[in-house]
Structures are given as C-alpha cells and as structure tokens.
Amino acid sequence: MPLRARVAAALVLLYAQPVSRIGRLTINDVTDDQTTVTVQLGDPPSPLPEPVAELMRAYILSRQHLPYASSRSSHWLFPGRQPGQPMNPVSLQTHLREIGVPPQRGRASAIRQLVLQAPAPSSRRHSAITTRPPPG
C-alpha cells in the first residue's frame, strides 16, 4: 500500500479528520522530538501512537522521492501536482478508497469510537432534576 495513503487513512481513522482537513496539513504541523510524533490538529497537538508515528516518519523522509520536483520542496504534508498546492481532496479520497478505507464511513466510525471512549456524564449534574411536583 502506498505510504501516503496509509498515513492519510490513519489520520482519518484515529482522529476522525475529514479528508479536506488532512489535505491542508503542512510539514510544520508534524513535530518529531525523536520520542513522540505529534500532529497539530488542534490545541494541544495530537500524539501519534506507534506504529503510526513510525509510518509518519517514513512518509516524511520519502517525500524527497516524490515524482514531481515541485512537490519535494512543498510545505504541504500531502503536496499536489500543481506547484504550491496541496493534494486535491478528491484525489486523496480516491487513494483511501483504493486501499479499502472509505473516508466518510471511516470518519463516522472513528467518531463513534471516540464517543464510546468519552467519560460518562456526571450524575451530580443531574441530581437537581427531580420528578416531584413543585411546592405549592
């Protein structure tokens, strides 16, 4: 599987990011301190778990071998064919579908999983709610 598609798929599936958002990431949005790789999807940056962090490292190193000379020096994480432009979101979606990751369903699945991992609401907040009729 192409490394670019694997990295993009990981960002869709781990962080429920739309393809249009992933396509606009720049090299500066990825930080590697040799221990942790993070991606600036919000504040604070999101850490990439292993083995995704290693995939990201390999992908960034592989960008020097991209087929378009203008892409090699591009600041976009996923550079497009046009100089200075990111990869077209439709093209990125096509790459994801080719490796078996439908972007919209993958994103929806990731959102469902994140909701399941969220802490349950505190019952203390709801303790003021009562079924007794008001005094009167």
pLDDT by residue for the chain (136 residues), tens only, comes to 788 889 999 998 888 888 889 999 999 999 999 999 999 998 999 999 999 999 999 999 887 666 655 556 788 999 888 878 888 988 888 888 888 877 655 455 555 555 556 566 554 544 444 455 556 5
C-alpha to C-alpha distances, 67 to 9, 28, 70, 73, 80, nearest whole angstrom: 21, 21, 9, 12, 11
The neighbouring-strand residues paired with 26 are 76
Query: What is d(CA 107, CA 109) in angstroms, rounded to the nearest whole number?
Result: 5
Helices (H), 16-102: 19-22, 52-62, 69-72, 89-98
Q: Which helix (H) or strand (E) holds 110?
A: helix 103-117
